[in-house]
Amino acid sequence: APQRPVVISTWDSGVTANKAAWATLKANGRAIDAVEQAGIAIENEPSCCVGLDGNPDRDGFVTLDACIMDDRFNCGSVAFLERIKHPISVARKVMETTPHVMLVGSGAQQFAVANGFALEPAKLSADAEKAYREWLKKSEYKPVINIENTKSTPQRGRGPYDPTQFSPNYFDDGSFNHDTMGTVALDAAGNLSGMCTTSGMAFKMRGRIGDSPLIGPGLYVDNEVGAVTGSGQGEEVIRMCGAHTIVEAMRHGLSPKEACQRAIERIVKRDPARAKDFQVGFIAVNKQGEIGAFSVQKGFSYTLTTATIEHKVYQAENYM
């Protein structure tokens, strides 16, 4: 018999997300409501990594990306959104009250404010302020030689864009300072939904968005098959259309873990040498309530909650 309800979130901070989702799921609530609650909870969590407490872009501004998808291919997304506390709820509003899927930047902010979301002060959290000051030191003093012109985009006097500074989230000891939370859930009625919310890669170029607000790469839900989201270097996920690729692999018979593994292998295969320097991890749940995860590097964890498993954190298997 299918195991349901079930909810799985990226990382160990998935405990916060799953607790919020479970309150809805255990009361026979809908998966779409559960995953939105997961997003709200994690965007509220000052010790976490996403939402307005996250790290800023290289110009010092926090810019948020989020998306949500239900069991009927309805989806909503916001990207490059500033000064709004709950991008996941704005994404849901886009899904439910507009003819569009995605709003970005000032348009997304205008839509949020028109729908009653407060415009928060443009202020960094203490942790983000500290991290940004640290980053600025290196970015100012580290000379960058021989990078191609396309990557040398001077901005506000901070010198050329240094690609070696772009993945500061992955450390040599294998730990990973993530900034994205994704949740996928199967509810008691057997319907799937998912969400993803992020402040994006720390110290990204201004205006950059990753995979996390993109329906297809960062999140995909097909209610006949399964739901997938992930975390990590967004550019690598976008080019392989990660989440959708995994849903399709499950459609063709792979288990959630096998499907995640196959997508990770494809990402690594493109450039195995470069793959040593970035992290990507996926989580998946299928229509039967089976779950799986796989990542490039060690250190990717996920949190699982079912009727018998109470917010338990597991390490995903990995390629390296």
- Other C-beta atoms lying within 10 Å of the C-beta of residue 315: 13
Q: How far apart are CA 180 and CA 169, in angstroms?
A: 11
Instruction: Report the Cα–Cα distance between both ends of the chain, in Å, rounded.
Output: 35
- Rounded to a whole number of angstroms, the minimum distance from the CB of residue 312 to ligand SD4 is 21
Q: How far is CA 238 from CA 214, 241, 245, 267, in A?
A: 8, 5, 11, 10
User: Interface with ligand SD4 includes 36 (CB under 6 A)?
Assistant: no
Binder to ligand SD4 among 178, 244, 257, 311 (CB under 6 A)? 178
Q: How far apart are CA 261 and CA 317, in angstroms?
A: 9
Whichever of 232 and 292 has its CB closer to ligand SD4, that residue is 232
- Rounded to a whole number of angstroms, the minimum distance from the CB of residue 278 to ligand SD4 is 10
Q: Which runs of E-coded beta strand occur in the chain? A: 6-10, 64-69, 75-81, 102-104, 180-186, 192-198, 219-222, 226-232, 280-286, 291-295, 301-305, 312-315
Token pair listed for 204: 């990204």
Whichever of 37 and 233 has its CB closer to ligand SD4, that residue is 233
Whichever of 178 and 257 has its CB closer to ligand SD4, that residue is 178
- Give the burial string for 255-286 (b: 16+ CB within 10 Å, else e): bbbbbbbebbeebbeeeeeebeebbbbbbbbb
User: Interface with ligand SD4 includes 58 (CB under 6 A)?
Assistant: no
Residue positions counted in the chain: 320
Q: Give the H/E segment covering residue 106.
A: helix 105-114
Please count the residues of this chain forming the interface with ligand SD4, following the rule CB under 6 A.
14
- Rounded to a whole number of angstroms, the minimum distance from the CB of residue 210 to ligand SD4 is 2
Q: Which of residues 182-221 bind ligand SD4 (CB under 6 A)?
A: 198, 200-201, 210-212
**Site string (219-248) toward ligand SD4, x via CB under 6 A:** ------------xxxx--------------
- Rounded to a whole number of angstroms, the minimum distance from the CB of residue 232 to ligand SD4 is 5
Q: How far apart are CA 99 and CA 31, in angstroms?
A: 22
Whichever of 29 and 218 has its CB closer to ligand SD4, that residue is 218
Binder to ligand SD4 among 33, 43, 70, 179 (CB under 6 A)? 179
∠ Cα 303 299 265 (to 5°) = 95
As a whole number of angstroms, the longest Cα–Cα distance in the chain is 61
Q: Which of 245, 243, 247, 242 is CA-nearest to residue 287?
A: 247
180 assigned to active site: yes
User: Interface with ligand SD4 includes 318 (CB under 6 A)?
Assistant: no
- Rounded to a whole number of angstroms, the minimum distance from the CB of residue 52 to ligand SD4 is 15
Binder to ligand SD4 among 180, 229, 297, 318 (CB under 6 A)? 180
Whichever of 26 and 298 has its CB closer to ligand SD4, that residue is 298
* The one catalytic residue among 180, 198, 303, 306: 180
Q: Which of residues 109-148 bind ligand SD4 (CB under 6 A)?
A: none
Active site residues: 180
Q: Interface residues with ligand SD4 (CB under 6 A)?
A: 169, 178-180, 198, 200-201, 210-212, 231-234
